[in-house]
Chains A and B, each alone.
Chain A
Amino acid sequence: MMNKHLPGAASTPRSGAHGAKPLAMVEAGKRVRLKAIQSGRELQARLAAMGLTPGIEIEVIRNQSGGPCIVAVRGSRIMLGRGMAHGIIVG
Chain B
Amino acid sequence: MTRKRIVVALAGNPNSGKSTIFNDLTGAHQHVGNYPGVTVEKKEGACRHDGREITVVDLPGTYSLSAYSIEELVARNVIIDEKPDVVVDIVDASNLERNLYLAVQIMELGVPLVLAFNMSDVARARGIEFDLEKLSRFLGAPIVPTVGHKGKGTKELLDAVVAAATRKTAQDMPNIDYGREVEEEILKIAAALQTEASSADARHVRWLAVKLLEGDKNVREKVSRTVQEITEKSESHLAKIFGDPAEIIITDRRYGFISGACQEAVRSTVEARHTMSDRIDAVATSRVLGLPIFLGLMYLVFHLTFTLGDPPMGWIEKFFGWLGGVLETWWPKGSESILKSLLVDGIIGGVGGVIVFLPNILLLFLAIAILEDSGYMARAAFIMDRLMHKIGLHGKSFIPMLLGFGCSVPAIMATRTLENQRDRLTTMLVTPLISCGARLPIYALIIPAFFPGRLHAPMLWTIYIIGIVLAIVSAKVLRTTIFRGESTPFVMELPPYRIPTLKGILLHMWERGWLYLKKAGTVILGISILLWGMTNFPKKQTFDRDYETQTRQAEAACLDDVRGLNSKFGLATGSDILVRAIQAELDMAAEQKKHHETEPGFAEAAKRKDAAIEALGRQDGGDRLMKFLEVRQAIRDARAAFDGAVLEKKLVEGTPGYFAARSGCDAALANLQKAEPEVYAAAIRYLDNIRSSFEGAAEDVAKARQAEELAYTISGRIGHALEPILKPLGFDWKIGTALIGAFAAKEVFVAQMGIVYSVGEADEKSEALREKLKADYSPLIAFCIMLFCLTSAPCMATIAITRRESNSWGWALFQLGALTVLAYVLTLCVFQLGSILGIG
Q: Which residues of A are in contact with B by a Cβ distance under 8 Å?
A: 1-4, 39, 41-51, 53-56, 61-62, 64, 66-68, 70, 72, 74-84
Is B248 a contact of A48 with CB atoms below 8 Å? yes
Return the contact of A44 from the options B247, B268, B487 (Cβ within 8 A).
Answer: B247
Q: A68-B382, A81-B490 are in contact. Are A46 and B262 (CB under 8 A)?
A: no
Q: A57 to chain B: closest CB distance in Å?
A: 12
Is A4 a contact of B494 with CB atoms below 8 Å? no
CB-CB under 8 A from B378, the residues of chain A are 79
Interchain CA distance A1-B268 in the complex, whole Å: 5
B389 close to A (CB within 8 Å): yes
Q: A41-B215, A75-B271 are in contact. Are A48 and B247 (CB under 8 A)?
A: yes
Given contacts A75-B96, A75-B271, A83-B490, 9 further A-B contacts (CB under 8 A): A45-B68, A45-B215, A48-B64, A49-B64, A50-B493, A55-B252, A80-B489, A81-B394, A82-B389
Is B248 a contact of A76 with CB atoms below 8 Å? no
Interchain CA distance A76-B487 in the complex, whole Å: 25
B405 close to A (CB within 8 Å): no
> Which interface residue of A3, A41, A55, A77 has the most chain B CB atoms within 10 A?
A77
B464 close to A (CB within 8 Å): no
Interchain CA distance A80-B382 in the complex, whole Å: 9
Is B98 a contact of A50 with CB atoms below 8 Å? yes
Q: A48-B247, A75-B95, A82-B389 are in contact. Are A43 and B66 (CB under 8 A)?
A: no
CB-CB under 8 A from B252, the residues of chain A are 48, 53-55
CB-CB under 8 A from A1, the residues of chain B are 96-97, 128, 262-263, 266-268, 271
Q: A1-B266, A45-B214, A75-B96 are in contact. Are A50 and B63 (CB under 8 A)?
A: yes
Is A62 a contact of B285 with CB atoms below 8 Å? yes
Interchain CA distance A84-B570 in the complex, whole Å: 96
CB-CB under 8 A from B395, the residues of chain A are 68
B675 close to A (CB within 8 Å): no
Interchain CA distance A68-B68 in the complex, whole Å: 23
Q: A39-B489, A42-B68, A45-B68 are in contact. Are A77 and B274 (CB under 8 A)?
A: yes
Is B66 a contact of A54 with CB atoms below 8 Å? no
B244 close to A (CB within 8 Å): yes
Chain B 242-267 per-residue mask, 1 if CB under 8 angstroms from chain A, else 0:
00110110011001000100110011
Q: A4-B268, A61-B278 are in contact. Are A78 and B493 (CB under 8 A)?
A: yes
Top 3 closest A-B pairs, CB basis? A81-B490, A49-B64, A1-B268
B385 close to A (CB within 8 Å): yes
Is B489 a contact of A43 with CB atoms below 8 Å? yes
Interchain CA distance A66-B382 in the complex, whole Å: 11
Residue of B nearest to A68 (CB): B385
Interchain CA distance A68-B251 in the complex, whole Å: 25
Return the contact of A64 from the options B94, B214, B245, B287 (Cβ within 8 A).
Answer: B287
B701 close to A (CB within 8 Å): no
Jot down 11 A-B pairs with beta carbons below 8 A, ordered by A: A41-B247, A50-B98, A51-B97, A68-B395, A70-B281, A76-B493, A79-B491, A81-B487, A81-B490, A82-B385, A83-B490
In residues 488-521 of chain B, which contact A (Cβ within 8 Å)? 489-496
Q: B371 to chain A: closest CB distance in Å?
A: 16
Residue of A nearest to B282 (CB): A62
Is A77 a contact of B267 with CB atoms below 8 Å? no
Is A79 a contact of B494 with CB atoms below 8 Å? yes
B273 close to A (CB within 8 Å): yes
Q: A54 to chain B: closest CB distance in Å?
A: 6
Is A68 a contact of B490 with CB atoms below 8 Å? yes
Q: A44-B248, A53-B248, A67-B382 are in contact. Are A81 and B491 (CB under 8 A)?
A: yes
B101 close to A (CB within 8 Å): yes
Is B66 a contact of A45 with CB atoms below 8 Å? yes
CB-CB under 8 A from A49, the residues of chain B are 63-64, 66, 101, 251
Interchain CA distance A76-B468 in the complex, whole Å: 36
CB-CB under 8 A from A70, the residues of chain B are 281, 285, 382, 494
Interchain CA distance A79-B375 in the complex, whole Å: 13
CB-CB under 8 A from B248, the residues of chain A are 44, 48, 53-54
